[in-house]
């Protein structure tokens, strides 16, 4: 049983007083007991916890704010991703949350963000529900040594209270939900939403603010490492295959989502994974599939039969954004240290629904920075309300909602690191070929895996390349286990004129989007 007071620790410094019982660093088993006792979820077949997040089944970007004060005013990338919030209103909401929590039980997890001790950030996550505490325990790096936990001094604290709702007309928020970050107070306040990803991504925003001034690139990417110690980074937006392609049986997984790259190499921020599991295939993604059948995993909004206690990963009744949160140790070939040498390869993933980008192409350093800043993929019909045809989507650094500083800060760091460590950069299209979405077909996952494997193992080093005319991309003329005609997107189209028109149009959209950054380069 968790103790009600960790020796030497107090919650007074974050304004929490007169709470009922405090569960300090409860174990996974204890949290399971509390989840069931408090009726927060169900235990499904083979042991995962199944939970529901109510009306919020994904992030609420319009509800995220950063307190604009003397610390943040001149540094934060202000705009739609980072809306300013008044310090006085932040203090008011903090007081109201503290009053709400009086005489209520709360859960505390002390943990680290960052596997490299030189750059890790000690954090404390305070929640009103047991399953959110389990989420924090799964996703961040646990402190197993009791003596180290006693000495733990958090640099940042997250207070997550889903059942506390704001009054927008009084509290200055966009809705009843809010995610408020104060770099001066080193405090994050989350309320009105049960979606656990807000905890994870608010911490990610903190790392994006803290690390670049220390000459460490914070990255929204997955990472794995080969038998020769050759690390690879996979950047990509949702639906491009970032988690799937980094879970490679022939390589050790470092992490699936958030990493830093500094003087000593790359390191995982987290101790777990938060994978999208809708229609997960046991054949195509066996390791991730098995995590949905493991004790300790949290399944968010996954289809669930109450009678037989079995889940249905194909059920999208509640949302397409069904999620599994599990410790990285659930992946058999994960490298628990979470650190690796400097990457040998960087892969930018895009799901091009217009069907014009090559399945793989090699990038120069300037092209790498260009595609990094654009962060392109495409939405297809049916993925969002109102999307009836492919739409180009650009997200700076493949993660603009989480960037605290201007994108060019991260782009410059990337370029410097790529040059210093002679890193090969690739653009991989996991989207459509032979025509746009609705006409062409999705590129075979088997072909994509073969292309990625060839890039990482050096099989594309000694082949000849040709330059395609619209983006200036260098396309290899052959690749093991991939038909030659697949490598050239134009050859897969029956209507070559339509291909050229689509390619010119997409290239123009790239250039127009890039103009936002030209004055800052």
What's 92's domain CATH number? 3.40.449.10
Q: Residue 499 falls within a domain, yes or no?
A: yes
Residues 314 and 396 occupy one common structural domain: no
The yes-or-no answer on residue 238 being catalytic is yes
Residues 207 and 237 occupy one common structural domain: no
* Catalytic residue from among 243, 246, 291, 408: 243
What is the reported pLDDT for 518? Answer: 80
Residues 383 and 495 occupy one common structural domain: yes
**Angle, nearest 10°, between helix axes 407-420 and 365-374?**
150
As beta bridge partners, residue 476 has 465
Residues written for the chain: 521
Q: How many domains does the chain have?
A: 3
Give the pair of three-digit tokens for residue 188. Answer: 């994050």
Q: By 3-state DSSP, what share of the chain in percent is helix, strand and coil, each rounded to 5? A: 30, 25, 45
Instruction: Report yes or no: 183 and 66 within 8 Å, Cβ to Cβ.
Output: yes
As beta bridge partners, residue 64 has 179
The boundaries of the domain holding residue 134 are 12-40+60-214
The yes-or-no answer on residue 257 being catalytic is yes
* Catalytic residue from among 230, 257, 287, 453: 257
Q: Which helix (H) or strand (E) element contains residue 181?
A: strand 178-182
Q: Residue 232 falls within a domain, yes or no?
A: yes
Residues 364 and 463 occupy one common structural domain: yes
What is the reported pLDDT for 391? Answer: 85
Phi, then psi, of 397 in degrees rounded to 5: 60, 25
Q: Residue 383 falls within a domain, yes or no?
A: yes
Residues 153 and 24 occupy one common structural domain: yes
What is the reported pLDDT for 389? Answer: 63
Q: Residue 4 falls within a domain, yes or no?
A: no
Q: Residue 99 falls within a domain, yes or no?
A: yes
Give the pair of three-digit tokens for residue 193. Answer: 């939403």
Q: Residue 2 falls within a domain, yes or no?
A: no
Beta-carbon contacts of 203 under 8 Å, excluding residues fewer than 6 positions away, are 113, 123, 140, 156, 158, 188, 269
* Catalytic residue from among 9, 132, 208, 220: 220
* Catalytic residue from among 242, 259, 344, 379: 242
The yes-or-no answer on residue 242 being catalytic is yes
Residues 247 and 209 occupy one common structural domain: no
* Catalytic residue from among 132, 323, 344, 371: 323
Residue 400 exposed, middle or buried by CB count within 10 Å (0-12, 13-18, 19+): buried
What is the reported pLDDT for 338? Answer: 96
Give, in order, the Cα–Cα distances in Å from 289 to each of 46, 336, 520: 13, 19, 43
Residues 34 and 179 occupy one common structural domain: yes
What's the CA gap between 464 and 210, in Å, rounded?
A: 42
Answer with the one of 330, 350, 375 that is the final residue of a domain.
330
Q: Residue 92 falls within a domain, yes or no?
A: yes
pTM: 0.94
Residues 85 and 19 occupy one common structural domain: yes
Residues 364 and 299 occupy one common structural domain: no
* Catalytic residue from among 28, 92, 175, 238: 238
What CATH number does residue 324 fall under? Answer: 2.170.8.10
What is the reported pLDDT for 4? Answer: 54
What is the reported pLDDT for 132? Answer: 98
Residues 208 and 318 occupy one common structural domain: no
What is the reported pLDDT for 284? Answer: 82
Instruction: Report yes or no: 52 and 46 within 8 Å, Cβ to Cβ.
Output: no
**How many C-beta neighbours within 10 Å does residue 74 have?**
6
Helical ranges in 6-71 per DSSP H? 28-37
Q: Residue 361 falls within a domain, yes or no?
A: yes
Residues 436 and 288 occupy one common structural domain: no
What is the reported pLDDT for 7? Answer: 55
Residues 210 and 221 occupy one common structural domain: no
* Catalytic residue from among 9, 44, 53, 59: 59
pLDDT along the chain (521 residues), means of 10: 56 93 96 98 98 96 97 96 97 98 97 97 98 98 92 96 98 98 98 98 98 97 95 92 88 95 97 93 90 98 97 96 95 94 98 96 97 91 49 94 97 98 98 93 94 96 94 96 94 94 96 88 56
What CATH number does residue 466 fall under? Answer: 3.90.228.20
The yes-or-no answer on residue 240 being catalytic is no
């Amino acid at each position: 049983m968790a103790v009600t007071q960790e020796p030497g620790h107090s919650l007074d410094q974050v304004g929490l007083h007169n709470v009922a019982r405090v569960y300090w660093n409860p174990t996974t088993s204890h949290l399971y007991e509390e989840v069931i006792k408090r009726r927060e979820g169900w235990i499904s077949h083979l042991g995962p916890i199944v939970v529901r997040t109510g009306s919020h089944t994904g992030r609420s970007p319009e509800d995220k704010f950063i307190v604009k004060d003397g610390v943040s005013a001149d540094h934060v990338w202000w705009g739609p991703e980072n809306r300013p919030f008044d310090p006085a209103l932040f203090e008011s909401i903090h007081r109201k949350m503290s009053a709400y929590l009086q005489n209520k039980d709360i859960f505390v997890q002390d943990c680290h963000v960052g596997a490299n001790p030189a750059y890790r950030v000690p954090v404390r996550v305070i929640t009103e529900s047991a399953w959110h505490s389990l989420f924090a325990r799964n996703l961040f790096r646990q402190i197993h040594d009791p003596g180290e936990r006693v000495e733990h001094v958090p640099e940042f604290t997250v207070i997550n209270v889903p059942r506390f709702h704001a009054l927008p007309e009084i509290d200055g928020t966009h809705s009843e939900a809010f995610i408020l970050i104060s770099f001066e107070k080193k405090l994050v306040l989350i309320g009105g939403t049960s979606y656990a990803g807000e905890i994870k991504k608010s911490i990610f925003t903190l790392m994006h603010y803290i690390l670049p001034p220390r000459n460490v690139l914070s990255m929204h990417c997955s990472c794995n490492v080969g038998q020769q110690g050759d690390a690879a980074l996979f950047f990509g937006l949702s639906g491009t295959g970032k988690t799937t392609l980094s879970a490679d049986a022939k390589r050790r997984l470092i992490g699936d989502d958030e990493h830093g790259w500094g003087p000593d190499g790359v390191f995982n921020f987290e101790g777990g994974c938060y994978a999208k599991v809708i229609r997960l295939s046991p054949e195509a993604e066996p390791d991730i599939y098995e995590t949905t059948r493991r004790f300790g995993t949290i399944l968010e909004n996954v289809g669930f039969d109450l009678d037989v206690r079995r889940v249905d990963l194909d059920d999208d009744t509640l949302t397409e954004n069904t999620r599994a949160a599990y410790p990285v140790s659930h992946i058999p070939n994960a490298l628990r240290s979470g650190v690796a040498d400097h990457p040998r390869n960087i892969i930018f993933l895009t799901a091009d629904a217009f069907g014009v980008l090559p399945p793989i192409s090699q990038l120069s350093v300037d092209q790498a920075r260009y595609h990094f800043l654009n962060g392109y993929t495409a939405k297809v019909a049916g993925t969002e309300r109102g999307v009836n045809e492919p739409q180009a989507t650009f997200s700076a650094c493949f993660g603009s909602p989480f960037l605290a500083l201007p994108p060019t800060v991260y782009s410059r760091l990337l370029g410097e690191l790529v040059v210093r460590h002679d890193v090969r950069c690739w653009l991989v299209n996991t989207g459509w070929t032979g025509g746009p979405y609705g006409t062409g077909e999705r590129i075979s996952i088997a072909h994509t895996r073969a292309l990625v494997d060839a890039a990482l193992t050096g099989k594309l080093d000694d082949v000849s390349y040709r330059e395609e005319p619209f983006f200036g991309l260098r396309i290899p003329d052959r690749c093991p286990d991939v038909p030659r005609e697949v490598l050239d997107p134009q050859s897969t189209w029956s209507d070559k004129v339509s291909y050229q028109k689509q390619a010119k149009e997409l290239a123009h959209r790239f250039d127009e989007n890039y103009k936002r950054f030209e004055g800052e380069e």
